[in-house]
Amino acid sequence: MNDHKASPGWRLARPAVGSVTLCLIATLYVLLVTNRMFWSKSYGYFTAEPAAYFAFAAGISVGIMALFTFFSAKYMTKPVLIFFVLVASVSSWFNDQFGVIIDKEMIRNAAVSTGAEAGHLITARFATYVALTGILPSLLIVWVRVIHRPILKKLTHNTVIILACSAIFVAAGTGFYKTYAGIGRAHRDLMDTLNPVMPVANAVRYVIDSTRDANVVAAPLGTDARRVGIVDNGKPRVTIIVAGETARAQNFSLGGYDKPTNPELAKRDVVYFPNTSSCGTATATSIPCLFSVYTREQYSHRKGLETENLLDVLTHAKVDVTWLDNDTGSYDVADRIPYTYLPPSNDPRFCKDGECRDEILVDKVDGWLDKVKGDSVLVLHQLGSHGPAYYQRYPEEFRRFRPDCRSNDFSSCSREEITNAYDNTILYTDHIVSMIIDKLKQRSNSVSGAVLYFSDHGESLGENGIYLHGAPYIIAPVQQTQVPMLVWMADDLAKVAGYDMACMLKRAAQGAHSHDNIFHSVLGMMDISTKVYDPALDLFAACRTPSNKLALN
């Protein structure tokens, strides 16, 4: 009975607000609370033009107001505003904490992430932030009573509001068009962090692209591929490709880093390429791009799906190709070859909570080598240095750089601790790649071996307030685009194939290299002749004897 009496009073106590007024409040909220990075960056770009900045801010504000008002209809206002507030809340967390931009490629990368990988980003601070800036305002939107005008009056009123906002938007844009055009060309990221507009727009673009690409069939590539040109030493040629994860060149001591992060590789006669750029800043872009025939400038996600890749060309040449994965998948690269995803094995020696240390890859190499009958390529896809939980990527014995951050919440660690943890992951990768080289050395009587290692992209460790990776390539810092790459070749392979290792060392230290070289360099290493092979992009072609270079043309 008491509850019945209290109910009308509770309803009367709820504040009543007009639908357009609620849209205005929501507009001010997302602009002032969830767009700190947007306003900070844009203010920096407009420092010399304060009037243009004021007009820019006004135009953006009325533009979002017009967008929200467009959805101001009965049964739609609250759900849409809640959706926008929640999106803005989550996006602003990643903007402000890591300097991450939620573009289409970042959404693509997130869509293919494993639960364990995503779980490292869901910290107590993240949950608290979203609860305070997303869920609490959403509950307030649910709580208030929204007053709607009769439908014809509402339509007229909302249209007037939207037209007025649009007029101000156009006036602000045209009044300083020359300034906006110049700043926009110089700073392509100007609008990338506007919440919730850009995350929603980029998510829509991703869904449209994914729907369009769902039934794409890869066109044949390099069907003329065949083995050619070298003296047979009676042993299969075996190349192991180690596709690293999130290793940046800046932290490889092989390239001059002041910490000894590569003590084992330094003893193994590897050729290191110190100036190598990646094809992307996230795995979902870099992995399919670097295995494709396209250069970074030519590549698109659609092209990657429409065209067979390096592994298919090797298969056409009757090379046995296998992919073992300890990361987040092959991104369609291994769709037509034997593929094994290792984390579900939950091997207690290496795995915990749905993720495995990279020694699980090394553990599988001997079994694979036992089955080698002819020329073969094995791709090992590392978990490598993937953050933010760097400390989970290496065992206790590789905690050489201390104090190291033991948390996936960077706010609880200093820059030094974060860098030390990351450096320990590089130290562990050094050990992994060295063990793989050693396994091929141990089989030198039965196989002619080579190891090619490269990382898919780099990582930011707090430089300019940016962490992790995935920045749009055009504005990405060098820490995310400069990656380590190295090759090791068995002595007998180098001799029989005609490689001049001194020449390779010299050329590796000179000039710039990139993921563009991988497709053609692997074909060269495996002596594959095909029309799609370009010796100009083969890292090693210039250091082979003339007879072998001619044989590959």
Domain limits of the chain?
2-212, 236-552
**Average pLDDT over every residue of 11-15:** 71
Stated length of the chain: 553
Instruction: Give the C-alpha distances (Å, rounded to integers) separating 466 from 47, 94, 460.
Output: 22, 10, 6
Task: Check pLDDT > 90 for residue 71.
Answer: yes
The sign of the dihedral angle between the CA atoms of 15, 19, 20, 25 is positive
> CATH number of the domain at 236-552, out of 3.30.479.30, 3.40.190.80, 3.40.50.410, 3.40.720.10?
3.40.720.10
Q: For 167-182, what is each residue's pLDDT tens digit?
A: 999 999 999 988 988 8
Q: What's phi and psi for 482, nearest 5 deg? A: -95, 120
Lowest mean pLDDT, pick from 100-114, 148-162, 378-392: 100-114
* Residue 143 CB burial class (10 angstroms; 0-12, 13-18, ≥19): exposed
* CA 194 to chain CA mean position, Å: 20
**Average pLDDT over every residue of 424-428:** 98
93 token code pair: 């967390």
Residue 230: per-residue pLDDT: 60
Residue 546: per-residue pLDDT: 63
Alpha-carbon distance 15 to 149, whole Å?
A: 17
pLDDT tier at 11, thresholds 50, 70, 90: low
pLDDT tier at 133, thresholds 50, 70, 90: very high
pLDDT tier at 226, thresholds 50, 70, 90: very high
Task: Check pLDDT > 50 for residue 550.
Answer: no
**Average pLDDT over every residue of 374-383:** 97
Residue 113: per-residue pLDDT: 75
Alpha helices in 14-150 (DSSP H): 19-33, 36-45, 50-70, 77-98, 104-111, 115-119, 124-130, 136-143
ω into 263 cis (within 30 of 0): no
Instruction: Give the C-alpha distances (Å, rounded to integers) separating 553 from 28, 223, 431, 439, 538.
Output: 64, 16, 37, 32, 12
The mean predicted confidence, pLDDT, of the chain is 93
374 or 14, greater pLDDT: 374
Q: At what angle do helices 415-442 and 359-370 cross, to 10 degrees?
A: 10
**Average pLDDT over every residue of 511-535:** 96
Task: Check pLDDT > 90 for residue 122.
Answer: no
Strand, helix or coil at 312? Answer: helix
Q: For 443-490, what is each residue's pLDDT tens digit?
A: 999 999 999 999 999 999 999 999 999 999 999 999 999 999 999 999
532 token code pair: 């799609």
